[in-house]
């Protein structure tokens, strides 16, 4: 066994492969070519002298030794991240750095004003903000790439300590002149046969729409997928379909794009956004200050 051959890049890749159950998905998250990632995993196994992953038709899973390495590697990578942040703080005069990953819903509706208020009261704390899908946010917190995350998918958050953040409500958005524009409320079942403008299928919002459509015994008619709420509104305004969006996110566009908002009379449209951390008992002070600020914000 030659532990001197272990390197942080390979350890980080290994944790991503284990988390996703796939060398190709782990490689994508680590921004490595599949061939390069496979060689790093092979070299890692050679360095420790045991098989770490069992390959099967659906991907990979850890051996007993692989699980031990996974648990230890996570701890090592977390300590390295903390060390890097602390040294960077000393070099720049910043008293703390918080790495916050968030989904689009929280970023669009709530965070701009809340983060501005926090920075005004805590000028020595730098916030590194990244927007990602809810599932990627959870994975980043689990792997130590983010100190905390904000997301909407509770089912994907196994292993995280969770706190309630804000609630939002999904509504139907239609273009001016649409047959439903005079309706104040509808059920999702009444509109499921329309063409829909959606976000990527990887987002929690898109997955929920597909799930609810399948429960109705139907298939969601996705006409176009885009990357942002603004783009969704533009597509709806130009007649490409209808959309389901967070109510607060569409308010700036209702008048300027001549859109109509219709209430959805379904229980699932009321969502709880969550804050997740890996270990609530070992949160650095700058992270705790931000969490307390976000959880105490009105609304």
CA 244, chain centre distance (Å): 19
Domains of the chain: 3-71 (1.10.10.10), 76-166+272-296 (3.40.190.10), 169-269 (3.40.190.10)
> Residue 57's pLDDT is what?
85
Contacts of 113 by beta carbon, 8 Å cutoff, 6+ apart: none
Place of tokens 């991907």: 59
Half-sphere exposure of 117 (CA within 13 A, CB side): 13
> Residue 85's pLDDT is what?
66
Q: Is the pLDDT of residue 174 over 90?
A: yes
CA–CA distance, 129 with 107 (Å, rounded to integer) = 9
The pTM of the whole model exceeds 0.85: no
Q: Which residues pair with 274 in a beta bridge?
A: 151, 164
Encode pLDDT of 115-136 as tens digits: 999 999 998 899 999 999 998 9
SS3 257: coil
Calculate the average pLDDT of the chain: 91
Looking at residues 39-50, what average pLDDT do you find? 91
**Phi and psi, residue 64, nearest 5°:** -60, -40
């Amino acid at each position: 066994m030659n532990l001197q051959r272990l390197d942080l890049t390979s350890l980080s890749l290994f944790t991503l492969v284990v988390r996703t159950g796939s060398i190709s998905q782990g490689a994508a998250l680590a921004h490595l070519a599949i061939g390069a990632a496979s060689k790093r995993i092979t070299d890692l196994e050679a360095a420790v002298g045991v098989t770490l992953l069992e390959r099967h038709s659906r991907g990979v899973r850890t051996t007993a030794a692989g699980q031990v390495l996974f648990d230890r590697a996570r701890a090592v990578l977390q300590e390295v991240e903390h060390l890097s942040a602390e040294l960077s703080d000393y070099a720049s005069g910043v008293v703390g750095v918080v790495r916050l990953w968030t989904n689009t819903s929280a970023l669009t509706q709530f965070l701009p004003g809340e983060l501005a208020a926090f920075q005004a009261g805590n000028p020595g704390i730098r916030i590194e903000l990244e927007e990602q899908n809810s599932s990627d946010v959870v994975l980043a917190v689990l792997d130590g790439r983010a100190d905390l995350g904000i997301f909407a998918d509770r089912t994907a958050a196994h292993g995280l300590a969770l706190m309630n953040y804000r609630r939002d409500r999904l509504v139907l958005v239609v273009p001016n002149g649409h047959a439903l524009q005079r309706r104040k409320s509808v059920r999702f079942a009444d509109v499921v046969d329309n063409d829909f403008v959606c976000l990527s299928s990887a987002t929690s919002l898109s997955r929920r729409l597909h799930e609810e459509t399948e429960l109705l015994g139907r298939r969601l008619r996705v006409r176009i997928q885009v990357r942002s709420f603004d783009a969704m509104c533009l597509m709806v305004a130009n007649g490409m379909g209808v959309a389901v969006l967070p109510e607060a996110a569409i308010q700036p566009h209702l008048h300027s794009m001549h859109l109509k908002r219709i209430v959805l009379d379904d229980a699932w449209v009321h969502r709880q956004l969550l804050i997740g951390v890996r270990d609530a008992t070992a949160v650095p002070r700058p992270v705790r200050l931000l969490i307390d600020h976000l959880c105490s914000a009105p609304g």
